[in-house]
């Protein structure tokens, strides 16, 4: 053995090691200065190589063992109870410091000797393993006993030092890792041990006993004490218990979840099932405005435990449905579609706010809310049509003055209610009719809003359901392009005062909007004929059928040296333009010349005598029209607005679908069921009855078919030889190609 190697060992063992150990116990080894460790590392490097590497490795191991035997072990043997746990944590902390600084001295052994001699454990794992074998394994029964006694004392409130258990468990978590490494993060004095967790060892020593003792502890608690935790005035105490338990084992995430679940399960199993009968709580009353803070606190305690939701969710749904039924049963609201829908939206916003505030928007409560709203909304047969009326109102007036963000919110509300409706096909049928009327009459506030709502409905209901109204809007957009092209190419011989626009609509996509035929003015008839020829030439022989009763006219007229623009429908336009050829007509002459029926003529003509649009004078008063009375132009007509809408407003009345509408809806539903049943049967070839019914229910999105209706269509398909009963199994069907 060389003199230099001998001197190096002597220096490390007799001079440097005592200084390091002293600083570990009474200061910080870093106080020795980095030069001391650098020089020692260089000395080890100079003598390492050959036969001396094993001796250096052995010296490192002996240094660590001597420290544990002479300092750490005696300290722990003299300790009991909480002091033992405190000393264990401190000893482990100092042991990590020792290994960390010794590694800086014996660093080269990891890069040379250890790499060549694979049977030797690297420097850091070896140093940390010594603590586990010499300290923990030697005293583990004593340590575990002290640990669980301390846990019990903290639960009973006999020890205010709540961090003792947490620090001890954190220490054990680091001891129970394999292939450990030490990390000292920047700006932190703490040295952290990281590695692969040894779950088997940890489960045996800590987890299983911890869970067992936790269950026994809370199972032994009196039922009165457990019940008191669920009284609103004691929620804070219950929350404190959960927080303290979680804090003890915050470094053991898996163990933490299991422990908290055990506590929650014990409370719920013994108390929560009778929660509804507890007068101090009353779950439904807790959902009221003045109890939301208590609900929030209750949720904070049990938010990770689905078992408690099984007790709360049914009451929450009952609470929603109870108030919801009051809304849909209100006769005044039933007759006012706008207020009816507005009340539901307001109530939906209140429940959403409750879920957000008290339940942190938890998915389970969102799903429960949707289920409850769907239940009560669909108990009123006119809910779908009422929402359509509300949508029509919003598109005509309700969105005026709102910002883009507010508009998006209002439209989203409509699409959300749409998802709650069972009769989506009825909604789409009514919505298509109202959309067509808005587009034709140009009464929609914003075409962008129309498109946004259609897109939202498509996202919520699917393209197949919304395709009908989507095609209507596409036709409307295309019509603007076609009209612009026509006006550009056919403007030479047209009177300059006439501006023409036509809506070209595919007859199969648009709903049937009945209207009485109107004899258009000659000038418009000429333009209509030109447009028909233009369209036929452009699209290769497509023919156009004119619906003359729909659309609007904007007629300019001079009264008292002031120009006014009157917005009228085609029937009113015919009547107005007659006065270009005369100043006075009898009511009979106007009706006969217009070729209108009595009801249509009166409904549209009487609007010209209202105070805001009194264009004509007549001999009788009020809404009476006598055939022989004379109608003259009101030369003194004045109005504040330049553009005056004279189109009669229709009174919104909520009525059940007519017999014809019901027949159409039922027919369409039967056709849809036929198509879906055949599609499923064709793919499966042979299918059981219950499986077929289940798949049909999943496939149908536009309405909620009853099993009897599905069964009837299956029988119909059997009669029409699309399906046949299986000869060997009467509960199965075979597809007939």
Distance of alpha carbon 125 from alpha carbon 180, whole angstroms: 5
Strand spans (E) along 570-703: 584-586, 616-618, 630-633, 643-645, 686-688
Alpha helices in 278-394 (DSSP H): 283-286, 292-302, 306-328, 331-334, 337-359, 363-377, 383-393
Place of tokens 């600084």: 101
Which CATH number fits the domain 659-735, given the four candidates 3.40.50.300, 1.10.10.10, 3.40.47.10, 3.40.50.720?
A: 1.10.10.10
Within 10 A of 549 (CB to CB), how many other CB atoms are there?
17
Find residue 567's DSSP bridge partners: 554, 645
Q: What is the pLDDT of residue 391?
A: 93
Distance of alpha carbon 89 from alpha carbon 92, whole angstroms: 5
Distance of alpha carbon 98 from alpha carbon 90, whole angstroms: 12
Residues (pLDDT < 70) of the chain are 1, 31, 47-51, 113-119, 159-162, 185-188, 221-239, 251, 253, 267-291, 301-302, 304-309, 311, 491-497, 508-515, 541, 560, 650-662
SS3 sequence of 679-699: HHHHHHCEEEHHHHHHHHHHH
Q: What is the pLDDT of residue 484?
A: 84
Place of tokens 């909620």: 704
Find residue 197's DSSP bridge partners: 177
267-283 burial: b if 16+ Cβ within 10 Å, else e: bbeebbeebeeeeebbb
Measured CA distances, 638 to 170, 207, 607, 614, 617 (Å): 88, 90, 16, 9, 13
Distance of alpha carbon 615 from alpha carbon 566, whole angstroms: 10
Rounded to the nearest 10 degrees, how much is the dihedral formed by the CA atoms of 370, 371, 372, 376?
A: 100
Same fold, 3-197 and 267-476: yes
Alpha helices in 194-234 (DSSP H): 199-202, 208-219, 223-228
Which CATH number fits the domain 3-197, given the four candidates 2.40.50.1070, 3.40.50.300, 1.10.260.40, 1.20.1310.10?
A: 1.20.1310.10
Q: Tokens in use for 396?
A: 């005509």
Element (H, E) at 557: strand 553-559
Distance of alpha carbon 488 from alpha carbon 504, whole angstroms: 17
Distance of alpha carbon 584 from alpha carbon 591, whole angstroms: 13
The sign of the dihedral angle between the CA atoms of 587, 588, 593, 596 is positive
Q: What is the pLDDT of residue 655?
A: 47
Element (H, E) at 661: helix 659-684
What angle is formed at CA 324 by the lines to CA 323 and CA 327, rounded to 5 degrees?
A: 95
**Please, what is the angle between helix 404-420 and helix 447-461, to 10°?**
30
Among 582, 608, 510, 578, CA closest to 550: 510
Q: Is 665 helix (H, G, I), strand (E, B) or coil?
A: helix
Architecture category of domain 553-645 in CATH: 2-Layer Sandwich (3.30)
Q: Is 446 helix (H, G, I), strand (E, B) or coil?
A: coil
Element (H, E) at 568: strand 562-568
The sign of the dihedral angle between the CA atoms of 346, 352, 357, 358 is positive
Q: Tokens in use for 522?
A: 């000659």
**Domain map (residue ranges) of the chain:** 3-197, 199-266, 267-476, 553-645, 659-735
Q: Listing from the earlier edge strand, what are the strands of the sheet with 686-688?
A: 686-688, 732-735, 723-725
Among 709, 697, 721, CA closest to 665: 709
The sign of the dihedral angle between the CA atoms of 452, 454, 460, 462 is negative
Q: Tokens in use for 306?
A: 């689905």
Phi and psi at residue 647, to the nearest 5°: -70, 130
Distance of alpha carbon 481 from alpha carbon 504, whole angstroms: 10
Measured CA distances, 737 to 358, 686, 722 (Å): 57, 12, 7
Alpha helices in 360-502 (DSSP H): 363-377, 383-393, 404-420, 424-441, 447-461, 463-489
SS3 sequence of 360-399: CCCHHHHHHHHHHHHHHHCCCCCHHHHHHHHHHHHHHHHC
Which residues, 6+ apart, have CB-to-CB distance to 425 below 8 Å?
465, 665, 668, 669, 702, 703
Rounded to the nearest 10 degrees, how much is the dihedral formed by the CA atoms of 390, 391, 392, 396?
A: 100
Q: Which class would CATH give 267-476?
A: mainly alpha
* Contact status, residue 179 vs residue 173, Cβ threshold 8 Å: no
Strand spans (E) along 141-190: 177-184
Please state the separation of Cα 264 from the chain's center in Å. 27
């Amino acid at each position: 053995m060389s003199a230099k190697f001998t001197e190096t060992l002597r220096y490390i063992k007799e001079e440097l090691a005592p200084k390091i150990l002293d600083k570990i116990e009474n200061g910080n080894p870093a106080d020795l200065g980095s030069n001391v460790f650098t020089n020692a590392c260089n000395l080890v490097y100079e003598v390492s190589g050959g036969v001396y590497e094993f001796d250096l490795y052995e010296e490192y191991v002996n240094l660590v063992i001597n420290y544990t035997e002479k300092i750490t072990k005696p300290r722990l043997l003299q300790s009991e109870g909480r002091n033992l746990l405190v000393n264990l944590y401190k000893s482990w902390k100092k042991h990590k410091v020792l290994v960390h600084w010794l590694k800086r001295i014996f660093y080269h052994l990891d890069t040379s000797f250890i790499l060549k001699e694979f049977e030797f454990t690297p420097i850091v794992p070896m140093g940390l393993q010594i603590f586990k074998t010499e300290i923990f394994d030697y005293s583990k029964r004593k340590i575990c006993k002290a640990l669980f006694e301390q846990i019990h004392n903290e639960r009973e409130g006999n020890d205010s030092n709540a961090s003792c258990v947490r620090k001890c468990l954190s220490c054990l978590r680091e001891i129970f890792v394999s292939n450990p490494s030490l990390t000292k993060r920047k700006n932190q004095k703490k040295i952290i041990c990281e590695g692969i967790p040894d779950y088997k060892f940890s489960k045996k020593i800590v987890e299983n006993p911890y869970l067992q003792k936790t269950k026994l502890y809370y199972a032994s608690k009196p039922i009165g004490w457990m019940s008191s935790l669920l009284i609103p005035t004691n929620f804070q105490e219950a929350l404190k218990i959960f927080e303290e338990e979680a804090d003890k084992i915050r470094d053991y995430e898996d163990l933490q979840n299991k422990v908290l679940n055990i506590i929650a399960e014990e409370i719920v199993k013994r108390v929560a099932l009778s929660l509804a009968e507890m007068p101090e709580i009353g779950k439904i009353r807790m959902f009221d405005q003045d109890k939301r803070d208590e609900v929030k606190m209750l949720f904070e305690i049990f938010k990770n435990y689905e078992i408690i939701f099984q007790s709360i969710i049914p009451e929450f749904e009952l609470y929603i449905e109870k108030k919801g039924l009051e809304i849909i049963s209100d006769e005044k609201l039933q007759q006012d579609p706008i207020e009816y829908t507005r009340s539901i939206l307001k109530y939906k916003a209140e429940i959403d706010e409750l879920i957000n505030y008290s339940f942190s928007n938890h998915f389970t409560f969102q799903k429960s809310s949707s289920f409850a709203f769907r239940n009560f909304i669909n108990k009123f047969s006119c809910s779908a049509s009422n929402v359509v009326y509300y949508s029509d109102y919003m598109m005509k007036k309700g969105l005026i003055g709102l910002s883009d963000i507010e508009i998006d919110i209002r439209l989203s509300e409509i699409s959300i209610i749409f998802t709650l409706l069972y009769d989506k096909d009825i909604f789409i049928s009514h919505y298509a009719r109202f959309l067509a009327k808005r587009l034709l009459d140009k009464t929609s506030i914003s075409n962008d809003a129309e498109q946004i709502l259609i897109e939202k409905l498509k996202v919520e209901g699917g393209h197949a359901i919304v395709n009908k109204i989507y095609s209507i809007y596409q036709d409307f957009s295309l019509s603007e392009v076609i009209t612009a092209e026509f006006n550009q190419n056919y403007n030479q011989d047209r009177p300059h005062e006439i501006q023409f626009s036509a809506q070209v609509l595919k007859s199969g996509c648009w709903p049937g909007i009945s209207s009485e035929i109107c004899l258009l003015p000659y000038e418009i008839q000429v333009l209509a004929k030109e447009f028909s020829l233009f369209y036929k030439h452009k699209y290769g022989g497509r023919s156009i059928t004119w619906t003359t009763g729909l659309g609007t006219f904007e007629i300019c007229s001079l009264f008292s040296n002031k120009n006014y623009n009157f917005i009228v429908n085609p029937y009113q336009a015919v009547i107005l333009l007659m006065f270009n050829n005369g100043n006075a007509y009898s009511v009979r002459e106007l009706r006969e010349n217009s070729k209108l029926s009595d009801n249509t003529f009166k409904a549209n003509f009487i609007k010209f005598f209202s105070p805001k649009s009194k264009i004509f004078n007549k001999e009788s008063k009020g809404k009476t029209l006598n055939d022989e009375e004379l109608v003259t132009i009101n030369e003194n007509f004045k109005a504040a607005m330049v553009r005056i809408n004279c189109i009669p407003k229709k009174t919104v009345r909520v009525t059940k679908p007519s017999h014809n509408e019901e027949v159409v809806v039922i027919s369409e539903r039967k056709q849809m069921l036929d198509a879906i049943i055949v599609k499923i049967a064709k793919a499966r070839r042979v299918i059981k009855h219950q499986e077929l019914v289940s798949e049909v229910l999943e496939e149908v999105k536009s309405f909620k078919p009853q099993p009897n209706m599905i069964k009837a269509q299956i029988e119909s398909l059997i009669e029409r030889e699309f399906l046949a009963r299986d000869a060997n199994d009467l509960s199965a069907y075979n597809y007939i190609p």
